Structure 1
Amino acid sequence: MQIHIVQPGETLFTIGARYSITPQQIATANQLPNPDRLVVGQALVIPITGSYYFVQPGDSLYQIARRNGLTYQELAAINGLSPDQPLAVGWRLYLPPAPKASAEFNAYAEPFGAVSENLLNRTREAAPYLTYLAPFSFQAKRDGTLSELIVEPFVPIAEQNRVTLMMVITNLEEGAFSDELGRILLNDQAVQDRLLDSITATAKQYGFRDIHFDFEYLRPADEEAYTAFLRKAKDRFSKEGWLVSAALAPKTRADQPGKWYEAHNYKAIGEIVDFVVIMTYEWGYSGGPAQAVSPIGPVRDVLEYALTEMPASKIMMGQNLYGYDWTLPFVQGSQARAISPQEAIAIAARQGVPIQYDETAQAPFIEYTAEGKDHIIWFEDARSIQAKFDLLKELRLRGMSYWKLGLSFPQNWLLISDQFNVVKLP
């Protein structure tokens, strides 16, 4: 597949002709909200096998071949050229697809009350490309029991797509992560044993095969208690044949200050669990100033630190499937609206503004004015997710974990199918 950035004056017809594909194929693959009104700067995934390269001034067959992992003789033969033939600017050269990498993919699904049909549809869309599906979440209670969670609608989707159900347990209480709840769970052995019993019973009821702890905002004093708890859970659940995983705050050093970070000991937790999900997103968040949600530089910094504490085979990179629409100027206490990549594109088309791209953050954004107020949308597109896939492959990580299903981002799944063999557990 190929990523094409819409230029002024282009239409689906002219783009399709460029890649020898029909306009309808492009529109269908990208589920375009604006097929008759493309936006300058819009990223399109072109659903072809392999890709095309258009010769630029100064290019040689040798240079192009080397950049794409081929010999110049191979590239010449693929395109029916003589190896010593001069290249004309603008010539289209075909590049065969690169070998696929193997990786695991997880996605959280958060039902609110009843499971909506939209969430089920997004789950069905994603399931072929997932190793794990994580309904979010079973909330641990102070007596060691668990809150109820609607799981039943997800079970057949997982079974039909050979997806492993991940059981997420949190220390959420009244809508927020509770350090006091965490203190009780991690230090009261009777409550802790009851919690492990509750998890075991629920996992057997629904067929969960990974037990995933997302304990956040723990007291720094509970760092050792948390690792001891994870060790105890690992010993118990391994006997059931289940995996154990944990979500980790995005740290860049072991002694990073702040309540979100201090109880998450990367080295100790990495030695205990089968894998971790590092939450490398929300630099730009709904309650903060406008910026890219997961800028590539900070994401890389976190992952490179993690690699000093645990093997790459245990690390899943966190990735958002959404963006935010901020009203400007940002006012503390205001909330940006969560938005899908599809809706962001539709807004750009409706407002008649281009999609811009921040090369440093590797993220697209849109600036527009509505009802007299300025807005900026930072979101995800094929380019930004490709930058994360390139980083995943460069660092040889276990895979990627998405927060969260519900907002449509079809390009993400297209690029997974093109570049990865998704691991399905036996």
Structure 2
Amino acid sequence: MNLKSRIIILILVITLFLSAVLSQTFAVEMLYKSSKSSKRKQASKKIIGAWLPYWDKAKVNRAFTRNKKTMNEMSPYWYYVLPNAKLRPTSKFNLRQVREAKKAGVKVIPMVSNHYNGALISKIIRNRTLRRRHIRILVNMAVKRRVHGVELDYEGLLQKDRKVYSSFVKELARALHRKKKLLSVTVQAKVKEPGHSGSTKAQSWKTIGKYADRVRIMAYDYHWKTSPPGAIAPISWVKRIARLAKKTIPAKKAMMGIGTYGYNWYGDGRAKPITLHQARMIAKRRKKRLRRDKKTGEVYLRLKPGRPGIWIQDSGSLRSKLKIVKKYKLGGVFFWRMGNEDAKHWRVVRQELR
């Protein structure tokens, strides 16, 4: 082999070696970028979930099956609290739904309710024996049922229990975390601390947010069954709630609770819950149409001049609230309740948060 041939072979070997090195470097760099992108995507992923009532089971099951791919958490209403600090099931558990949720990657965090009985919770958390029993039972339930955690939906709490309730949340969170379970705490809406009422003053968002894994804010019922007619969650009010949440709760833990219902006021200072589908049927029957209130962002229907009517949220008002969640970089949204929502509801959620 002459010198020229040797030089050509050497050049080819060097070229192949450099190509292999560069190719490997490029592959590693792409893998690194992909990993970083995946981590960023995972970090920015919002929690999307809903509370599932124990009534309207067929409707709730259909809604969950249709939309489980959009969700990553759910809280079935499973228990309420007894005076002896034990739990009573609301109904027979839908274990098939739990299996379906887990298979779809949806965390199951059952809800425990106090039926708006603040005095009941006060008695339990102020008595050392009852308090310890309640914590033990909640933790054992999460372990036995093989769910991802526990949600406290304790409403109507007493103002005097602010510190002791915060301490209870801290103890329960630590007990659940030892078993690798999550704690979610539902809180009543407010726009400033300590709150505007006894029950809102009983919940310290800052302390609850420090120890709980989720803080779900019930940003609805600005107007309610026995109030004068009006928007369920005016957009300006929701913004103020989001601002307070951002100041007091770690952003990734703060969940904006959004209603999927409205109220139909019928003249004597009372109202009944109504879905968007029902509101549209009434409007069609009365040959009227739902109109949007620019100030609050919600839709309404006047049935007769001078008489109360219907106020309800639709996909337009939902979109506005989801934009607030994104603007203030909150951790996600939770809907009360599954089965009430309009077909466009989940489409808007996917467009805004996925």
Letter in 2 for 1:123: F
2:76 matched residue in structure 1: 135
SS at the partner of 2:123? Answer: helix
Q: SS of the residue aligned with 1:195? A: helix
Deviation at 1:238, TM superposition (A): 0.5
What does residue 104 of structure 1 align with? Answer: 47
CA distance in 1, matches of 2:347, 2:46: 15
Per-residue Cα deviation, 1:358-400 (whole angstroms, up to 9, x for no partner): 111011111224xx99451111222111101111111111001
What SS does structure 2 have at the residue aligned with 1:128? Answer: coil
Specify the code of the residue in structure 2 equivalent to 1:386. R
1:158-307 equivalences in 2 (<5 Å)? 158-172=101-115, 177-307=116-246
Q: Contact (CA 8 Å) 1:108, 1:403: kept in 2 or not?
A: yes
Structure with larger Rg: 2
> Could you tell me whether the CA contact under 8 Å between 2:242 and 2:325 is conserved in 1?
no
Q: Secondary structure at the match of 1:402?
A: strand
Partner of 1:17: none
Q: 1:27 is matched with which residue?
A: none
Match of 2:22 in 1: none
Q: Following TM superposition, by how much is the alpha carbon of 1:413 offset from its aligned partner in structure 2, in angstroms?
A: 0.4
Residues 75-99 of structure 1: CA deviation (Å, up to 9, x unaligned): xxxxxxxxxxxxxxxxxxxxxxxx9
Q: Percent identity?
A: 20
Correspondence 1:119 to 2:52: no
Aligned match of 2:302:
367
In structure 2, C-alpha distance between the alignment counterparts of 1:267 and 1:200, rounded to whole Å: 23
C-alpha contact 1:144 1:193 (8 A) present in aligned 2:
no
Report how many aligned residue pairs link the two structures: 311
Q: Given that residues 302 and 309 in structure 2 are in contact (C-alpha distance below 8 angstroms), is that contact kept between their aligned partners in structure 1?
A: yes
- 1:31-42 matches, within 5 Å, as none
Map 1:319-338; keep pairs closer than 5 Å: 319-328=258-267, 331-332=268-269, 334=270, 336-338=271-273
User: What is the alpha-carbon distance in structure 2 between the residues aligned to residue 392 and residue 179 of structure 1?
Assistant: 30
Helix, strand or coil for the counterpart of 2:151?
strand
- Write the deviation string for residues 92-111 of structure 1: whole angstroms up to 9, x where unpaired: xxxxxxx9963111211111
Query: TM-score with structure 1 length normalisation?
Result: 0.69
Instruction: Give the AA of the match of 2:313.
Output: E
Query: Of 262, 282, 289, which residue of structure 2 is paired with 1:354?
Result: 289
Distance in 2, matches of 1:310 and 1:116, equals 34
Partner of 2:14: none
Q: Which residue of 1 aligns with 2:37?
A: none
Q: What SS is found at the alignment partner of 1:308? A: helix
Q: Per the alignment, do residues 323 and 239 of structure 1 end up closer, same or farther by CA in structure 2, a change over 3 Å counting?
A: same
Shift of 1:408: 3.5
Tell me which residue corresponds to 2:323.
Answer: 390
Amino acid at match of 1:383: G
Which of structures 1 and 2 has the larger relative contact order (alpha carbons within 8 angstroms, sep 6+)?
Answer: 1
Runs of 4+ off more than 4 Å: 372-375
1:155, 1:206 within 8 Å by CA — same for their partners in 2?
A: no
Q: For the structure 1 residues 251 and 160, does the alpha-carbon distance in structure 2 shift closer, same or farther, using more than 3 Å as the test?
A: same
Query: What is the CA distance between 1:137 and its match in structure 2?
Result: 4.2
Shift of 1:283: 0.8
Which residue among 92, 95, 99 is the counterpart of 1:156? Answer: 99
Q: Name the SS for the 1:317 alignment partner.
A: strand
Letter aligned with residue 340 of structure 1 = T
Q: Which amino acid aligns with 2:266?
A: T
- What is the CA-CA distance between 1:211 and the residue it aligns to? 1.5
Contact 1:363/1:381, CA 8 A, preserved across alignment: yes
Contact 2:86 2:137 in 1 (8 A): yes
| AA matched with 1:343 | Q
Cα deviations by residue, 1:19-42 (Å, 9 ceiling, x for unpaired): xxxxxxxxxxxxxxxxxxxxxxxx
Name the structure 2 match of 1:146.
Answer: 87
Q: Does 1:403 align with 2:350?
A: no
Deviation of residue 416 (structure 1)?
A: 1.7
1:158, 1:165 within 8 Å by CA — same for their partners in 2? yes
Give unmatched runs, 5+ long, in structure 2: 1-40
Q: Which runs of 5+ in 1 are unaligned?
A: 1-98, 422-426
* Equivalent pair of 1:135/1:168 in contact (CA under 8 Å): yes
Q: Which amino acid aligns with 1:134?
A: S
Residues of 1 paired with 2:159 and 2:290: CA distance?
43
SS of the residue corresponding to residue 276 of structure 1 reads strand
Residues 230-273 of structure 1, C-alpha deviations (whole Å, 9 max, x = no match): 11111111011111121111122223242221110111111111
Q: Is the 8 A contact 1:142 1:191 kept in 2?
A: no
Q: Matches of 2:76 and 2:125 in 1, distance apart? A: 23
Q: CA separation in 2, counterparts of 1:316 and 1:265?
A: 16
* Residues 323 and 352 in structure 2, CA contact (< 8 A), matched pair in contact too: no
Contact 2:78 2:93 in 1 (8 A): no
Deviations 1:329-382 (A, max 9, x none): xx34x2x1211112222222222212211111011111224xx99451111222
Distance 1:197 1:380, change over 3 A: same
TM-score (norm 2): 0.82
* Aligned-residue CA RMSD (Å): 2.1
Tell me which amino acid in the other structure corresponds to 1:326.
W
| Aligned twin of 1:343 | 278
Deviation at 1:121, TM superposition (A): 1.4
CA distance in 2, matches of 1:242, 1:308: 26
As a proportion of its length, which structure holds more helix? Answer: 2
